[in-house]
Chain A
Amino acid sequence: MMRPVCPLADIPRGEAYRWAIDTPVAIFHTDDGEVYAVDDTCTHQDASLADGWLEGCEVECPLHASRFDLRTGQVDAPPAKKPIRTHRVEVIDGVVHVAVAEVEAGRS
């Protein structure tokens, strides 16, 4: 189910928004204007990816610099071993909507 989160205008390009639901979700607005949503908590230890460094379609964790591909959730750089769960995003009438994935991320 798509749930409204916030106006896209609230997340400038190159920035992220932490959606504080039960399992928090990080929403990224890339420099190219794409919008991606992944679990906010790093799969390595306890850090918020919304606080991380966004470069292209990749986010670097602010604690130990694991890098995740926002499109697939894959680990691009350790120490994280497990991919991050990705969520479907749509921008409807200027509002970011996210469908929170039900299942755990697999090793796709």
Chain B
Amino acid sequence: MLKKVAIVGASLAGLAAARALRQQSYEGEIIAIGAERHEPYDRPPLSKDFLTGACTAADLALGDDDEDLGVRWRLGTTATRLDPRAGSVHLAGGEEIRVDGVIVATGARARRLPHTGHLANVRTLRTLDDAVALREALLGGGRLVVIGAGFIGAEVAAGARSLGLDVTVVEALPTPLAGPLGAEMGAVCAHLHGDHGVRLLTGTPVAGLAGTDRIEAVELADGTRLPADVVLVGIGAQPNVEWLAGSGLAISGGVVTDTHGATGLPTVVATGDCAASFSPFAGRAVRAEHWTHALEQPAAAVASLLGAPPPRPPAVPYFWSDQYGVRIQFAGHREEGDTVRIVDGDPEQRAFLALYERDGEPVAVLGMNQPKLFTRWRRQLRAPSPIPTAALEPR
């Protein structure tokens, strides 16, 4: 029986794991190690209401004052190495913690542009500290250039626009969001920028950033020079898994796990944004980077660690995004080659529901300002049956 469990990463998935441990009647010690000095907080508002000032840092708290999980929090502490054979987690500063179970929930960090660290007002957005700095920079006004028209880039563009900045978004791909939504629907979402007076330049990669100690301009590969007072680099995230080197865990675009967070090592599970988990919807390992996944998967990972059956089958993947007062919601899994058609509303009105199909079967649904209808469709999407079991390849 497990007596001492370490949760590494004290954010959404880490907190959900602590709650799940107690819910699943684990009575031993829990120690939660988090690199950030903040108590667990919610990230989605960082690019939305927090950026515009519509909510404060206090509103972001994920924990509940009334709740006593009996967790020893080690915040502001980074784990540097995992040695599963010795059952130890090594911390920056040299301390070694002995445990008999480990939940890896170290999430992801924003990808950066190389050689730009010296330029003031070139920002990324992943943490509360990032958001505070970005908001401060935006309150200075002027011209914002967003590099990358993904969800976070689009949300920051929208927020900055509402704060009165002059905003340009640059995207290397011909169509933004083509990965998650497909080119057709990506293009529909991209119209939102133009609706609100934000310039969108697509198909042209960034060649470099100009400036000596402050950013002055973003230079594109076609020679375009975009003067800038602030730059937000929104080019995706990468998993925080370097500290697991030498642990024996399989790492491939994240910690490789089965659907329920189990790794090749019986005493270690991984969950949330750091895990590349087998998805019955995709039929392969996917590193989901969605809030709902990081909230729900830890219960399954905890069951795996405790040797219990998963509490419930994996839910249909889901995420949302809020841009320019428009709510975008997506559920399911889209593959290249799926067809998409509008089943309700009108993209021109920025209110519609689109259905993705494969071999005539619905596989995903996208809603823009259609929460009610979207919810109905989302509930109808089911995992392909029978759910294939993951093939784990421990190394």
Contacts and interface: CB of A to CB of B under 8 A. Distances in A.
Interface of A: 45-48, 50-53, 60, 62-65, 79, 81
Contacts of A60: 375
A64 B292 contact: yes
Contacts of A47: 371
A74 B375 CA distance: 22
The 5 closest A-B pairs by CB, nearest first: A51-B371, A62-B371, A51-B372, A62-B375, A81-B64
B172 interface: no
B291 interface: yes
B395 interface: no
A63 B378 CA distance: 12
Contacts of B64: 81
Interface of B: 45, 49, 62, 64, 291-292, 295, 320, 327, 329, 371-372, 374-376, 379
A62 B291 contact: no
Nearest to B322: A46
A52 B375 CA distance: 7
Contact of A53 (B62, B292, B379): B379
A28 to B, nearest CB: 13
A65 to B, nearest CB: 7
A62 B292 contact: no
Given A64-B291, A65-B292, A79-B295, A48 B375 contact: no
Nearest to A50: B372
Contacts of A45: 45, 49
A69 B291 CA distance: 24
23 contacts: A45-B49, A46-B49, A48-B371, A50-B372, A51-B371, A51-B375, A53-B375, A53-B376, A53-B379, A60-B375, A62-B329, A62-B371, A62-B372, A62-B374, A62-B375, A63-B320, A63-B371, A64-B291, A64-B292, A64-B295, A65-B292, A79-B62, A79-B295
Contacts of B295: 64, 79
A81 B379 CA distance: 24
B323 to A, nearest CB: 14
A46 B45 CA distance: 11
Contacts of A63: 320, 327, 371
A2 B174 CA distance: 57
A19 B11 CA distance: 37
B5 to A, nearest CB: 21
Nearest to A63: B320
Contacts of A46: 49
